Structure 1
Amino acid sequence: MSGILARPADGTTPPDRAYPMTRDLTCPLAPPPGLHTARAESPVGRVRIWNGTTPWLITRHADQRALLVDPRVSNDDHEPGFPYVNAHRAAIAHATPPLITNTDAPEHTRLRRMVNAPFLVKRIEAMRPAIQKIVDDLIDTMLDGPKPADLLTALALPVPSLVIAELLGVPYADHDFFQSNSNLVLDSDASADEARRASGALTGYLDTLLGEKLTAPGEDVLSGMGRRVTAGEMTRTEAVHMGVAMLIAGHETTATMISLGTLALLQHPDQLALLRDDDDPRTVAGAVDELLRYLTIVQTGVRRVAKEDISIGDQVIRAGDGIIFDLAAANWDPEAFPEADRLDLRRPARTHQAFGYGPHQCLGQSLARLELQVVYGTLYRRVPTLTLAAPLDQLAFDHTGTTYGVRCLPVTW
């Protein structure tokens, strides 16, 4: 079906807007300009995706909040009409067991309960001293090394990889393996076979590791899931695939935010000064939320499908219609965030939707916030002369992954 422009079931003219939309390379930190046009002209409108189908694109903050908690909107990617991100996601969907990422209540509620406890705010906050030590040690190593340094490999990737490896009970020594395979799973330019092989490699790896935890459990998340497998509360397949999902999400998104957030701050020295010169934890926490809002690194949208007809605005989304929620469009919606195109670390931005919204909101958001608070609250004070070591227009950005970021961030001091 690729390359064929499918006519929407409601008979309307097929849209000329392709999704995901193209960014303006002269403003690499801003969302694609087409999103602003779509939000102004047709906030509930159809777009064309990779296979020629035409799901609805939701761009307003308020509309997203209403629909993402609507029980008629389904997260089940086994449903006909689900708007898959790419061909290999479509190919593996029906081979993927029920997870928190592809189910609705009550199954979603059951599965989330299996893994929720380690990610509760109080449990995550107890990790702050350990994460602080990781960040300080990595900065020490970077400062002792050559200049310029790649902040992505020196700090941005190691911090969340070390943390999620410890939390899950995965050997950090294997980080090259799980990072490279995670990248293939998330890369829209990868072939279906490449993505399948990468997914299979991660699944086999986690299955072997879970087998070891079943016989010699520890205090990590994977061991906790192993105990639930032994108790008959979840299947081994569910535990393995849940582990894969957490391993991928646990390092990819935070690493991207560390590097891209640093780039954004270096481009806004007045805002960087606010963060560097104010060590109030509330200031740092607020800055994290504003950077999450401003950058909104998920560039493929949150995907859903309608289970029933839904009226919203002057449109009717029919049962079986795909729905895409572009989080950046909502986070730059001027009705929700006045002067949304301005990075303002003093802005109360907690209502952003960088982690999604509703029952499927990101499980690891508290961990991500903590990691970012520690990094943003430490790096610029310890390295006050940090600066970009290459022109902005020479940086390579990732336009093909689930998240948008820099492939390398050369810095000096």
Structure 2
Amino acid sequence: MTSTMDPAGHSPAEVPEYPMPRAEGCPFDPPPALRELQEQARVTRVKLWDGTTPWLVTRHADQRAVLTDRRVSADMTHPTYPRQAAGGGGTLSFIGMDDPEHARLRRMVGPAFMVKRVEEMRPMVQAIVDDAIDAMLAGPNPTDLVEAFALPVPSLVICKLLDVPYGDHDFFQANSRTMINRNSTPDERTSASARLAEYLGALVARKLEKPGDDLLSRLGEKIKAGDLTVRQATEMAVLLLIAGHETTANMIALSTALLLRNPDQLAMLRESDDPALARSAVEEMLRYLNITHGGRRRVALEDLEVAGCPVKAGEGLVIPNDIANRDPEAFPDPDRLDITRSARHHVAFGFGVHQCLGQPLARLELEIVYRSLYRRVPNLALATDFEKVPFKHDGFVYGVYELPVSW
């Protein structure tokens, strides 16, 4: 008889549900059940919210292989694409597409995020970080680091890049939160997406009439040239605005919480004048933590093998970077936080043609934050019991809802 067991030894009735809960008191670590799956098999079945059972890829090398395989699709409109939740939320523009359309649209905004162009933004980002620290120190003590610092910094940066009025930050942050909350209903996500699209569509329309030196104006130029429709430009603007502030804001707050729990690593970073150590700390934090909650999703376009496991055309694939970045085959002693580690081969930004477009900007922001915040506020400390810090277990983007700190 043909075995119905998956490579991890699960019968169809035993397939574990995904995503999995983190262990109580271990909010920085991957779920224990996910770690067990990695130890059992390189590829295994998991069950999603809708009852489908895609393949979960547990190892670093295998994830990179899948993410560069042209037989694997990122097309979110594919009928068997393993979706994060039911409906809603609108489109994610080019990140939910395959080449050649993915590459064509990505090239429209790619130059703004090239390393050289991003490096030219360093003085502006440094000024935003310094001003945010000044404002925090002049405000109430204790305070919430999320609202006082972690959220304003990347929000201001992406607003400058797009020329979106920062005064509207309450509006776009609230709608972003609705779109990325796992508990939002499909109607709530759809409505939030529509509000953001209407708002950014109006800004794009203004840029068509009165362009400036900003990314929305460049999208307007593409519309005038016939390379983009107004809808495509609006969808790209929504993606850039959400991704530009949500992920980095959560990373700033989450990594600060982690460093406060690891005072030896925090002291090393705070006391060093070496910019290379700050850059190394950025990569180690990106490896150790996990912001993209729920794994990257793909679907096989044809029959293939992943780590020796047959995957049929139309079957979904879940690729959780949190467990790949704790793979002992890729990172010795992976559960130890070490900001001197060589960790740049992590998959926090994905891999292959769909790897995060904004990673140079995210790296720059985090480097400047790590070199500035802890040195200027050397006695930064948690202002509550660690067990009371509210982590975002209900989101597609992981982090903390608030981080009470004092100095």
1:272-311 equivalent positions in 2, closer than 5 A: 272-311=266-305
| CA apart distance, 1:92 | 5.6
In structure 1, what is the equivalent of residue 15 of structure 2? 16
Q: Which residue of 1 aligns with 2:57?
A: 58
| Counterpart amino acid of residue 135 in structure 2 | T
2:173 to 175, 179, 182: 179
TM-score (norm 1): 0.95
Aligned to 1:350: 344
Counterpart AA for 1:248: I
Deviations 1:360-412 (A, max 9, x none): 00010010010000111101110111111111101111111111111110001
The one-letter code matched in structure 2 to 1:49 is: L
- Contact 1:15–1:46 at 8 Å: present in 2 too? no
Partner Cα separation in structure 1 for residue 47 and residue 254 of structure 2 = 28
Confirm or deny: 8 A CA contact 2:89 2:189 kept in the other structure: no
Partners in 1 of 2:62 and 2:14 — Cα distance? 20
Alignment of 1:38-117 (within 5 A): 38-88=37-87, 91=88, 96=91, 99-117=93-111
Task: Report deviation, 1:146.
Answer: 1.4
Which secondary structure does the structure 1 equivalent of 2:19 belong to? coil
- The 5 Å alignment of 1:10-409 reads 13-88=12-87, 91=88, 96=91, 99-409=93-403
Distance 1:15 1:381 in 2: 50
Deviation of 1:312 (Å): 2.1
C-alpha distance in 1 between matches for 2:362 and 2:13: 39
Are the structure 2 counterparts of residues 142 and 163 from structure 1 closer, same or farther at C-alpha, using a change threshold of 3 Å?
A: same
Does structure 1 conserve the Cα–Cα contact (< 8 Å) formed by 2:89 and 2:193?
A: no
Distance (Å, rounded) in 2 between the aligned partners of 1:12 and 1:390: 45
Residues 1:275 and 1:84: Cα distance change in structure 2 (over 3 Å): same
- The 8 Å contact of residues 186 and 402 in structure 1, kept in 2 or not, is answered as yes
The answer (yes or no) to whether the contact 2:179–2:189 under 8 Å persists in 1 is: yes
Amino acid aligned to 2:28: L
Deviations 1:140-197 (A, max 9, x none): 1111111101100110000000000110111101000000000111111001111111
Residue 16 of structure 1 deviates from its aligned partner by 2.8
Match in the other structure for 1:4: none
SS in 2 for 1:101: helix
User: SS where residue 44 of structure 2 aligns?
Assistant: strand
Output the TM-score relative to the length of structure 2. 0.96
Offset at 1:348? Answer: 0.2
Unaligned stretches of 5+ residues in structure 2: none
**Which residue identity does 1:83 align to in structure 2?**
P
Task: Kindly state the Cα deviation for residue 205 of structure 1 after the two structures are TM-superposed.
Answer: 0.5
1:125 to partner: Cα distance: 0.6
Percent identity of the aligned residues? 53
CA 14–73 in structure 1, closer or farther in 2 if over 3 Å, else same: farther
Distance 2:13 2:301 in 1: 22
Question: Displaced runs of 4+ in structure 1, greater than 3 A?
Answer: none
CA contact (8 A) 1:135 1:375 kept: yes
Q: In the superposition, relative to structure 1, how do residues 15 and 121 fare at CA in structure 2: closer, same or farther (>3 Å)? A: farther
2: CA distance, partners of 1:110 / 1:364: 17
Letter aligned with residue 100 of structure 1: F
Unaligned stretches of 5+ residues in structure 1: 1-6
Q: How far has the Cα of 1:314 moved from its partner?
A: 3.3
What is the one-letter code of the residue matched to 1:55?
P
